Chain A
């Protein structure tokens, strides 16, 4: 089956101060996996939102199966045969799988029938799922299956997948790809959004590359080298971070059998976590989202308290200490969520500098705050980390993701930590800011601090860490030297494929 399915013609969408999509045109043929490739902020999300009817284009047109296609809401898109799996899942934690799926359908059958149908489709495509479980209790991979099955039940002609592998282990990725290939054989087209070059080369038939909201070219991924695609995507060559040779010194931070129950009903509990970090070392902790990363950061920053001896720094018990007591001793942290956790969105950068630096930078005396000093500390961070902002009196939320992240990481690094813990340091950050942040972490370790990097980006961990450990369902594997790792090995450390063993064989070789 060939022929055009969806033609996109000159789509343009502008937001105040930024043109998200500028005259983008391309075609998707029947039964192909078409990649949409681009960096964070290249305009991929806006483009697919227009295809899915969530955003209305300012100019341009689309045709679907030779008929004009201008969905004004997702419902219209769905009834035209376009389905979408979101990057950040559009799921409801307190509802069960069947209810979640019913919400995404136009005319769902009665619950009993729907459950039976879910079980059937999940069997057919090798995506096992219990329709009666609460979504809040599912792993990230299982949640994605809910989304996929929700789409498949509507027999879509075009399936849009937004960064589907960012939450999967390598083994789960293989299974997802098998399902997608099966769909392609059945004639379904797939629009596959990603910035991961290798997986696009394995899976996709054609790729459209976006940069700065413009279509900068189309290629056949199998016949194009990864570096050539990367250049199309980024535009300029980036220099990889410099790792200095270092000699490891004594252990600074130690976790001894750390146990922690979660604060929220759907959180993960930490189970018996033990590790050591030495001065000058970067230890990476990999894992799929929702396996205890936030909880681990909280246990280290002091937001969650644990048994005194379960966290030790230089032999001193810290498990019971408050965040500021830990800061005083030199244990600093930068959480994943920039807006609302690492920084208060509506407060100025001066105030946000006060947020964590009051103790170590002497910004207070007898409870009275010295705003002048706080301002000059904020200015120092802005200057040293090239934070693009008119000045320290601007609200944190006015900064772009990359700039705020540089501010947040810079704020901790300039306080001269003995141990720095960061979670997802470059998530959603543009390439140049990401490179700057990674280099700063390497420099910090080279200066003798111990750095713990929690990240879901395996490439990042391979690039900057000395040792690697995996977090899986709240348990931490024994660390291994990063230089000894293979993708296969990492996948197994991350827990392989969650709950996939049963239906595996039916799909992988259909």
Chain B
């Protein structure tokens, strides 16, 4: 019988290997799932992971999409990873993303039709601030009343969704839109648009922000006192307290930064790829980013890679829907499976499986 034995210290090797193994295991399990759905599993996996990048027919469209989809995932996941390291569980990034988009878009639309170089920077600030404020609700409730931040941040997603609907239907509705829901299209308003910076790459300001966030988070965690305190608070709360870490500060920083980054992601999305505030603006990036954060092992560079991979499954999923009629929901299940395998394999970093006589348990 196999039993687990705690390692004397976490294994470095396994911490790099587990995400890779999890991806392989998910491909196998996903292949089986596609096979049950009556599709050719090898073709499905090829279409999801290979064709978007290298198929001559699709790559020209898909490749730029990679950065478009990865940027919000990476931005949000970087913020979440700080909290997850500290044991501050913000799972309402989806709500902060929506509120960031609403605030940013509202600022832009308020200036319409004036043209000025100052408008876009103001929108960025408003988006970041909106996400930050929305995340401050669970943060302050946790500090003042020890209210569970998981539940509050999550419930606020549903509140944000309703606010979004209200904005799209009334407050921010396009007055020239002939009564259709949805705001003016910001892409057609040069001062407020988040354009593709280098043609054909898909890179917009959100991609730049994501890269800055990765570098910032790397320095914070590796070199700065605050990063050390975040890790300490998550690994060993009593030791953190003894070391003089102020828990309230950690809660505000972690929730605040993740809200801010999610808000930015929302703003870049609404001013760029999405173009407008509409009822179906929320796109689940806030939840998928949770998978990205774990797949990247909560490490900034890991998250960068994981975000690209997860973006690939999005694009590949759409392609698979187009080519094979695989429902989009299958991709969601596929992503969920990836997180399962990852968590399951994580045991190998901390424990060593030992084959031998079972002890009495």
Query: Are A55 and B360 in contact, CB atoms less than 8 angstroms apart?
Result: yes
- The verdict on A340 contacting B238 (CB below 8 Å), with A324-B244, A367-B226 known, is yes
Q: In the complex the two chains form, what is the Cα distance from A55 to B9 in whole Å?
A: 24
Q: Determine the chain B residues whose CB is within 8 A of the CB of A346 once the complex forms.
A: 9-10, 235-236
Tell me whether A451 is interfacial, beta carbon within 8 Å: no
Query: Are A72 and B360 in contact, CB atoms less than 8 angstroms apart?
Result: yes
Our pick among B10, B223, B238 for the contact of A368 (Cβ within 8 Å) is: B223
Q: Determine the chain B residues whose CB is within 8 A of the CB of A351 once the complex forms.
A: 228
Binds B, one of A375-383, A390-398, A487-495: A390-398
Query: Are A395 and B10 in contact, CB atoms less than 8 angstroms apart?
Result: yes
Tell me whether B242 is interfacial, beta carbon within 8 Å: yes
Tell me whether A443 is interfacial, beta carbon within 8 Å: no
Q: Determine the chain B residues whose CB is within 8 A of the CB of A58 once the complex forms.
A: 357
Q: Determine the chain B residues whose CB is within 8 A of the CB of A331 once the complex forms.
A: none
Our pick among A301, A327, A354 for the contact of B228 (Cβ within 8 Å) is: A354
**Chain B residue nearest to A303 in the complex (CB):** B241
Q: In the complex the two chains form, what is the Cα distance from A343 to B224 in whole Å?
A: 19
Q: In the complex the two chains form, what is the Cα distance from A346 to B6 in whole Å?
A: 12
Q: In the complex the two chains form, what is the Cα distance from A303 to B246 in whole Å?
A: 10
Q: Determine the chain B residues whose CB is within 8 A of the CB of A55 once the complex forms.
A: 359-360
Tell me whether A56 is interfacial, beta carbon within 8 Å: yes
Query: Are B232 and A323 in contact, CB atoms less than 8 angstroms apart?
Result: no
Q: CB within 8 Å of A: which of B321-361?
A: 357, 359-360
Q: In the complex the two chains form, what is the Cα distance from A73 to B358 in whole Å?
A: 13
Q: Determine the chain B residues whose CB is within 8 A of the CB of A394 once the complex forms.
A: 8-9
Tell me whether A218 is interfacial, beta carbon within 8 Å: no
Query: Are B5 and A355 in contact, CB atoms less than 8 angstroms apart?
Result: no
Q: CB within 8 Å of A: which of B220-246?
A: 223-226, 228, 231-232, 235-236, 238-244, 246
Query: Are B236 and A340 in contact, CB atoms less than 8 angstroms apart?
Result: yes
Q: In the complex the two chains form, what is the Cα distance from A364 to B232 in whole Å?
A: 16
How near does chain A come to B80, taking the closest CB pair, in angstroms? 21
Q: CB within 8 Å of A: which of B240-261?
A: 240-244, 246
**Chain A residue nearest to B219 in the complex (CB):** A368
How near does chain B come to A16, taking the closest CB pair, in angstroms? 7
Our pick among B226, B232, B359 for the contact of A344 (Cβ within 8 Å) is: B232
Q: Determine the chain B residues whose CB is within 8 A of the CB of A395 once the complex forms.
A: 8-10
Q: In the complex the two chains form, what is the Cα distance from A176 to B240 in whole Å?
A: 40
Q: Determine the chain B residues whose CB is within 8 A of the CB of A369 once the complex forms.
A: 223-225, 228
Tell me whether A341 is interfacial, beta carbon within 8 Å: yes
**Chain A residue nearest to B231 in the complex (CB):** A347
Our pick among A322, A342, A368, A397 for the contact of B9 (Cβ within 8 Å) is: A397
Q: Determine the chain A residues whose CB is within 8 A of the CB of B9 once the complex forms.
A: 346, 394-395, 397-398
Query: Are B225 and A341 in contact, CB atoms less than 8 angstroms apart?
Result: no
Tell me whether A337 is interfacial, beta carbon within 8 Å: yes
Q: In the complex the two chains form, what is the Cα distance from A106 to B285 in whole Å?
A: 53
Q: In the complex the two chains form, what is the Cα distance from A72 to B224 in whole Å?
A: 52
**Chain B residue nearest to A345 in the complex (CB):** B236
Query: Are B242 and A323 in contact, CB atoms less than 8 angstroms apart?
Result: yes
- The verdict on A56 contacting B244 (CB below 8 Å), with A344-B232, A347-B235, A354-B228 known, is no
Query: Are A341 and B238 in contact, CB atoms less than 8 angstroms apart?
Result: yes
- The verdict on A337 contacting B238 (CB below 8 Å), with A368-B223, A369-B223 known, is yes
Q: In the complex the two chains form, what is the Cα distance from A358 to B359 in whole Å?
A: 44
**Chain B residue nearest to A344 in the complex (CB):** B236
Our pick among B225, B226, B231, B242 for the contact of A303 (Cβ within 8 Å) is: B242
Q: Determine the chain A residues whose CB is within 8 A of the CB of B238 once the complex forms.
A: 337, 340-341
Tell me whether A417 is interfacial, beta carbon within 8 Å: no
Query: Are A344 and B225 in contact, CB atoms less than 8 angstroms apart?
Result: no
Q: In the complex the two chains form, what is the Cα distance from A342 to B232 in whole Å?
A: 12
How near does chain A come to B1, taking the closest CB pair, in angstroms? 12
Q: In the complex the two chains form, what is the Cα distance from A358 to B357 in whole Å?
A: 46
Q: In the complex the two chains form, what is the Cα distance from A355 to B223 in whole Å?
A: 14
Tell me whether A302 is interfacial, beta carbon within 8 Å: yes
Residues 204-229 of chain B, each 1 if its beta carbon lies under 8 Å from chain A, else 0: 00000000000000000001111010
Query: Are A355 and B232 in contact, CB atoms less than 8 angstroms apart?
Result: yes
Query: Are A344 and B244 in contact, CB atoms less than 8 angstroms apart?
Result: no
Tell me whether A356 is interfacial, beta carbon within 8 Å: yes
Residues 4-31 of chain B, each 1 if its beta carbon lies under 8 Å from chain A, else 0: 0100111000000000000000000000
Residues 356-378 of chain A, each 1 if its beta carbon lies under 8 Å from chain B, else 0: 10100000100111000000000
Q: Determine the chain B residues whose CB is within 8 A of the CB of A358 once the complex forms.
A: 225
Q: In the complex the two chains form, what is the Cα distance from A347 to B242 in whole Å?
A: 15
Q: Determine the chain A residues whose CB is within 8 A of the CB of B240 once the complex forms.
A: 344
How near does chain A come to B299, taking the closest CB pair, in angstroms? 15
- The 25 sampled A-B contact pairs (Cβ below 8 Å) are A53-B360, A55-B360, A72-B360, A73-B360, A302-B244, A323-B243, A324-B243, A333-B242, A335-B242, A337-B238, A340-B238, A342-B242, A344-B239, A345-B235, A346-B10, A346-B236, A347-B231, A347-B236, A351-B228, A355-B243, A368-B224, A368-B225, A369-B223, A397-B8, A397-B9
A-B pairs with lowest CB-CB distance, top 6: A395-B9, A323-B244, A398-B8, A344-B236, A324-B244, A344-B239
